Structure 1
């Protein structure tokens, strides 16, 4: 089996998450509410729950009886053990997204339910474009700065490739406004979602490049 590419610097990602502030995890609050609504619609009682997350304290508070595991390449999940598995805003950092989904499927009991929340392909599109244009203008080059995120059709395809029965992928648009790009980038740091890509440039970004990006934004 081919080894998946090393997209994410896990050491940097862990460091960023450790510095995240609880009051900045509002997107996880949104996802928790969305999960709750979906589970009410399912109208089932789940007795063995596992949650895959990069923010264990947050999700342990929401589901005190759940098994909480990190979103590592190899998930610490027991096979055919859980009737509900939740994957929470971490798939964009996975080196092998399909592999993680397969592990979640294998962890389910027969007729178990899997719910995942992931950032869609248009997430941070304005910032991604602004940074790219500014970097080309200032340095003449281009480096990875925002993790890749799948469109809904792509995410649905991942579920099919992972072998889930009756897969459904849909989107929940959520618009968050900021005064400028600097406020947004500051909030991303507070969320633990700043650049942790393995191929990122590891020196400080020139101030004039950030200023140019903010102007474009």
Structure 2
């Protein structure tokens, strides 16, 4: 377990517990991520009978996942017992469990997916390692988490408002993962053929209060360990909205909100998976494949000193 604790996991669970009863009215971001995940799965010519939905929230993904790429059953898992109960209403089994302490036997699943949940864990390398162990050989992990560009408009406006009115800014918006680190984390966890990429989603709100209520409704309220325990002062909140409109508002008077999706893909190792060739072992020339003449670099090759 990492000694660096960023998130209060009990607060993450409480936020999800509170959001569970009204989850279907606030699941638009997870639903959008689910559609994009299904599009990616369509490109995989494989069958995955048993799938794990890690961090399932209220069960948005499972009904969409059934039947895709041969998925016959989805085991749903969430940190929040209330979210797990909500998810179970879609007909697929659900349990409450911590992403950092998975209760599954090794080589249990053909497929593991995770939508917008893993950016809330403290020990992401450990969670990925456990996910890889829970996959059968040649099983696939496909997950998405929020990236560092998410909510940058709100974060900048809050920092400016608090600095202006209080002489300093408290940590109120989570720090998110960075794309440059993600493929390395997958490789470190033992995944084969790791791939990471990013997408952006932009939405707008007419009312800034609705944005804050939406974030709470999707269980995205502040859960940093060092978060201030008191709420925002009214003058700070009002100034935040003013700065937001001044710096980022559209000509129609709406407030843009950016969400960055970081996608992570990796396979549990298997002996028959393709492996990279050793340097110098190529059996064909690039020039032949391109139908062109091979040209030298103009730099003389000096044979190595054998003495």
TM over 0.5: yes
The C-alpha deviation readout for 1:54-74, integer Å capped at 9, x for no partner, is 514334444562112225221
Give the one of 80, 83, 92 matched to 2:119: 92
Change (3 A) 1:102 1:190: same
Higher mean alpha-carbon deviation, 7-16 vs 182-191, is at 7-16
The 2-side partners of 1:75 and 1:147 are apart by: 24
- Name the counterpart of 2:86: none
Higher mean alpha-carbon deviation, 153-162 vs 112-121, is at 153-162
* Contact residue 77 and residue 104 of structure 1 kept, 8 A: no
Following superposition, the deviation at residue 157 of structure 1 comes to: 2.4
The 2-side partners of 1:54 and 1:197 are apart by: 21
Using the size of structure 2 for normalisation, the TM-score is 0.66
Following superposition, the deviation at residue 119 of structure 1 comes to: 0.8
- More strand, by proportion: 2
- Name the counterpart of 2:16: 17
- More helix, by proportion: 1
Higher-RCO chain (CA-CA 8 Å, sequence separation at least 6): 1
Question: Is 2:156 the partner of 1:129?
Answer: yes
Higher mean alpha-carbon deviation, 182-191 vs 105-114, is at 182-191
- Name the counterpart of 1:190: 217
* Contact residue 55 and residue 118 of structure 2 kept, 8 A: no
1:1-217 alignment to 2 at 5 Å? 3-20=2-19, 21=22, 22-53=24-55, 55-63=57-65, 65-71=73-79, 72=98, 73-217=100-244
Aligned residues: 216
The C-alpha deviation readout for 1:12-66, integer Å capped at 9, x for no partner, is 2222212323121111111111121111110211112111115143344445621
Higher mean alpha-carbon deviation, 174-183 vs 20-29, is at 174-183
- Helix, strand or coil: the match of 1:211? helix
The 1-side partners of 2:177 and 2:2 are apart by: 21
The 2-side partners of 1:168 and 1:79 are apart by: 23
Change (3 A) 1:145 1:171: same
Following superposition, the deviation at residue 90 of structure 1 comes to: 0.9
Using the size of structure 1 for normalisation, the TM-score is 0.91
* Contact residue 128 and residue 146 of structure 1 kept, 8 A: yes
RMSD after superposition: 1.8
| Structure 2 unaligned blocks of 5 or more | 67-72, 80-97, 245-307
* Contact residue 158 and residue 169 of structure 2 kept, 8 A: no
The 1-side partners of 2:211 and 2:163 are apart by: 21
The 2-side partners of 1:157 and 1:177 are apart by: 33
